[in-house]
Amino acid sequence: MQRATIQRKIILDTLKTFVTHPSAETLYAEICKNHPAISKATVYRNLRQLAESGEIAQIAAVDGSARYDGRTETHYHCNCKKCGSIFDAEIVTPIDDVNNLVQKKYGFRVSRHDMIFIGLCKTCCGSKTGTAV
């Protein structure tokens, strides 16, 4: 467990205000609006430490960038391959059985799993249902 600092609290609190999953750069820009003394290096270092400790999730976007999520309970994401947006896929029941299937087949004890649906968001595909191609 990392020591709690004012900067870490500001970073974590700011991240949790996002509905989307920001990059470190986007998060830093938001933090600077109210806390200009916090350096970019502090934001990047704390994001890395928070992700390593499991206090936040780091998501690998389809474009190869890292995005961050303040929600740590099992949930899934949608990533638009055109505009790059990432948002939560609100599936009522996480697919917990997949952990058991992997353990049975490979003898691998799963502590967590990630799932990202890649396609086109409603805006990019120009429809109400978001049907991707």
Q: β-strands 116-119, 76-80: how paired?
A: parallel
pLDDT at residue 49 in the model = 95
pLDDT at residue 118 in the model = 94
Q: β-strands 57-60, 76-80: how paired?
A: unpaired
pLDDT average, residue stretch 41-64: 94
| Neighbouring residues of 13: CB distance < 8 A, sequence distance ≥ 6 | none
Find residue 59's DSSP bridge partners. 67
CATH placement of domain 74-133:
3.30.1490.190
Per the prediction, the chain carries an average pLDDT of 89
Give the pLDDT band of residue 128 (cuts 50, 70, 90).
low
* Of residues 123 and 132, more confidently modeled: 123
pLDDT average, residue stretch 77-86: 94
Going by C-alpha positions, the residue among 20, 83, 7 that lies closest to residue 46 is 7
pLDDT average, residue stretch 67-76: 90
pLDDT average, residue stretch 8-32: 95
Cα–Cα distance measured from residue 124 to residue 133, given in angstroms and rounded to the nearest whole number: 11
pLDDT at residue 72 in the model = 85
pLDDT at residue 94 in the model = 64
pLDDT average, residue stretch 37-57: 95
Going by C-alpha positions, the residue among 87, 88, 13 that lies closest to residue 50 is 13
Q: Where are the domains of the chain?
A: 1-72, 74-133
* Of residues 92 and 72, more confidently modeled: 72
Fold that domain 1-72 belongs to in CATH:
Arc Repressor Mutant, subunit A (1.10.10)
Q: Is the model's pLDDT at 100 over the cut of 70?
A: yes
| Neighbouring residues of 48: CB distance < 8 A, sequence distance ≥ 6 | none
pLDDT at residue 132 in the model = 47
